[in-house]
Homo-oligomer: A and B are copies of this chain.
Amino acid sequence: MAHPTLYGGIEGGGTKFNCAIGNSPENIIAEARFETTVPAETVGQVIEFFLPYASQLSGIGLGSFGPFDVDPSSPTYGYITTTPKPHWGNTNLLGMLREKLPLPITVELDVVVAGLGEAKWGASKNDSHSLYLTVGTGIGGGFIVDGKPLHGLTSAEMGHIRLARDPERDPFRGACPYHGDCFEGLAAGPALQARFGQRGETLPDDHPYWDLEAGYIAQALVNYILTLSPKRIIIGGGVMQKNFMFPWVRQKTQGLLNGYVNHETILHHIDEYIVPPALGNRAGVLGAIALAMG
C-alpha cells in the first residue's frame, strides 16, 4: 500500500508551540505541544518531534506569532523581529528549523494560518473570500482569497486600525505603544489589564465593559466589511470565549451598518456570517498543515 503524502504543521504561539503531522483534520498521525520558553529549547523540541518523520514529509507549514517577517525578499525572512517577548526578539525561527529539517518550509503569520485552516476545512470552506480575526492578547486578521492569503506591500496589520472612541463612555486613551487608542490599543488583553488591573478572563460577565468591547469589535468588523467584503467572518481568540459576545457583536455590526450593505447575508443571516472557528483551537495547527499543502 502506498503511503499517503504527509505534511507537518507548526503553530508557534507566544505561550506554546503546537505541532502536528497529517494531511487533514481526520488524518493526524502525531501531535505535540511545547511551552514557549527560549528559542533554543522550544525550537529544539519542535525539531526533535519532527525528525523521526522527516523522510515521510513533503513539507512543513509554520504559522508564527508576530511581528514575523514573511517577505521572501527580506534579509530577515522567517525571523520573529521586534517582539517585546523576552528572548524572542530577532529570532531566525525559519533558519533554526531549516538547519535541522531538510524540507520545504512555508511561513505565514499565525492568524493567517488559522484563516487558511478555516478556509480549507472549517467555517469558511465554501467561501472564496473569508476573514479570520483573533481578539485576545493581540488583535490580528488574515484575509483569505481562493485559498491564498492576501499579501500586498506587507502582511495586513488590521488589528491596528483606528476606531471612534467616545471619551465620555470610555476615557481610557489606549494601550498601543504606536497608536494609543487603535483597535488593539482599546480592545486587546493589555488594554483590559490597563483599564481594570486584571485579565479580561477574570472580568465578570455582567461587567458593563463588555458592551463597549463588543462595540469596538463591531466597529472594526464594519470597517473590514466595507473595505474587504468578506463572505464570512470567523473570530477566534480569548475574548470571544465569552459566550454572550457573538450575539452582541453581530447585533452591533448590523446596527452600525444600518442597512447600507444591502445583502441578505448581512441583513438576515448574520448568525451564519460572523461565526466562531469550526476547527476550534486546532485552526492554527491544521492551518499550518494546509499552508504546507499549498
Interfacial residues, chain A to chain B (CB-CB below 8 A): 67, 81-82, 128-129, 141, 143, 145, 150-165, 178-179, 181, 219, 222-231, 256-263, 265-266
Report which of B67, B152, B178 forms a contact with A230, defined as CB distance below 8 A. B152
CB of A117 to closest CB in B, whole Å: 20
Contacts of A150 in B (CB 8 A): 145, 228-229
B161-A227 in contact (CB<8A): yes
Q: How many angstroms between the C-alpha atoms of A95 and B152 in the bound complex? A: 36
Cβ A154 vs Cβ B260 within 8 A: no
Residues in B neighbouring A263, C-beta threshold 8 A: 153-154
Q: Contact at B164–A226, with CB atoms within 8 Å?
A: no
Known: A162-B164, A164-B164, A222-B161. A229 touches B155 (CB 8 A): yes
Extra contacts besides A153-B225, A154-B262, A179-B258 (7): CB < 8 Å: A81-B262, A145-B150, A152-B231, A153-B263, A154-B261, A156-B229, A162-B219
Residues of B close to A257: CB separation below 8 A: 178
Closest 10 CB pairs of A and B: A152-B229, A129-B152, A161-B223, A178-B260, A158-B227, A153-B229, A178-B258, A157-B226, A153-B231, A164-B164
* CA distance in complex: A162, B216 (Å): 11
Q: Which residue of B lies closest to A273 (CB)?
A: B153
**Is the pair B163, A227 in contact by a Cβ cutoff of 8 Å?**
no
A265 in complex: contacting residue of B81, B145, B153, B231, CB < 8 Å = B153
16 contacts between A and B (CB under 8 A): A81-B262, A129-B151, A129-B153, A141-B227, A145-B150, A150-B228, A154-B261, A154-B262, A154-B263, A156-B229, A161-B222, A161-B223, A161-B227, A162-B223, A178-B257, A228-B228
